[in-house]
A = this chain, B = another copy of it.
């Protein structure tokens, strides 16, 4: 099996690559070739015995999408996107990368199929940003997409294209709407959502973190490990039961900031929890107020997708996967 990962240099892309190499296969099939693509050339993974190609490609550049699938991969993970903040700040770049780039990939697959039959599985990472407030108490699987950002608009359009190209038989697509990934490894960043991870990751390493919103703020979370699990499950499940409804809200954990802090206190003690400094920020509070808080993702659960059930679990995943299994003393 030949696997292509587009967006392989990103956080999820790297974790997915590591997992595929560790598993040596996908859905019972051996992975014999791995193509890793991103706007900067991804690192080739250590310990993989098959063929590896890495390439720096911008899907929206002429010919790039065709080039990315020239090896006719059987499985395509399309994770590449510019993030919400950048897509909002740079309108043209957002549409170029997040819409035109994705459409170019889908078109390249279709065109390849006109030359010789070709219909790979395509797993596309969408986002809960396809939804925009006001929301019901829990957003159901049939709730409409009215994004409040250009990023969410671009993802919602990609979902529609994916469903139509799949219906036409050009590929076998599935779109998965990821929750906010928590705990994101790495340094604190300036994304409006950054604090959800910062207030756990930093104290777990003995560092201070800033909380810009109230403890009653509720949001929808899953760990990086759960996200990789979603991707693998989406890659291997039977897509027939999806019918024409190819885009799924992934399961997650709805939790308040207060519940996050209580879990931190339980796992790492008062000393860690006391490293959170409250610095209310009205701008961030206003942005976050428009975000989804809770979902009722029955279809994905019925199809076997699984996320964490408690924030202690989310914290333990971080300790195991990022901190070598132990808290710093």
CA distance A260 to B112 in the complex (A): 48
Interface residue from B141, B157, B168, B244 paired with A157 (Cβ < 8 Å): B157
| 5 smallest beta-carbon distances between A and B, as pairs | A153-B164, A144-B144, A142-B144, A157-B157, A146-B245
Interface residue from B132, B161, B244 paired with A146 (Cβ < 8 Å): B244
CA distance A147 to B164 in the complex (A): 8
A163 on the B face (CB < 8 A): yes
Residues of B within 8 A of A156 (CB): 160
Q: Is the CB of B167 within 8 A of A163?
A: no
Residues of B within 8 A of A164 (CB): 147, 150, 153
Q: How many residues does chain A have at the interface if contact means C-beta atoms less than 8 Å apart?
A: 22
Q: Which residue from chain B places its CB closest to the CB of A133 in the assembled complex?
A: B244
CB under 8 Å from chain B, chain A span 53-109: 91
A145 on the B face (CB < 8 A): yes
A148 on the B face (CB < 8 A): yes
- How close is A47's CB to chain B, nearest CB, in angstroms? 42
Binding site for B on A (CB under 8 A): 91, 132, 141-148, 150, 153, 156-157, 160-161, 163-164, 167-168, 244-245
- How close is A19's CB to chain B, nearest CB, in angstroms? 31
- How close is A324's CB to chain B, nearest CB, in angstroms? 43
Interface residue from B142, B145, B160 paired with A147 (Cβ < 8 Å): B160
Q: Is the CB of A150 within 8 A of B168?
A: yes
- How close is A241's CB to chain B, nearest CB, in angstroms? 13
Q: What are 29 A-B contacts with C-beta separation under 8 Å?
A: A91-B168, A132-B244, A141-B144, A142-B143, A142-B144, A143-B144, A144-B144, A144-B145, A145-B145, A145-B160, A146-B163, A146-B244, A146-B245, A147-B160, A147-B163, A147-B164, A148-B167, A148-B244, A150-B164, A150-B168, A153-B160, A153-B161, A153-B163, A153-B164, A156-B160, A157-B157, A157-B160, A157-B161, A160-B160
Residues of B within 8 A of A244 (CB): 132, 146, 148
Residues of B within 8 A of A245 (CB): 146
CA distance A212 to B147 in the complex (A): 41
CA distance A160 to B147 in the complex (A): 8
CA distance A81 to B145 in the complex (A): 23
CA distance A160 to B132 in the complex (A): 12
- How close is A70's CB to chain B, nearest CB, in angstroms? 22
- How close is A170's CB to chain B, nearest CB, in angstroms? 9
- How close is A302's CB to chain B, nearest CB, in angstroms? 16
CA distance A114 to B169 in the complex (A): 41
Residues of B within 8 A of A147 (CB): 160, 163-164
- How close is A149's CB to chain B, nearest CB, in angstroms? 8
Residues of B within 8 A of A153 (CB): 160-161, 163-164
Residues of B within 8 A of A145 (CB): 144-145, 160
CA distance A162 to B169 in the complex (A): 28
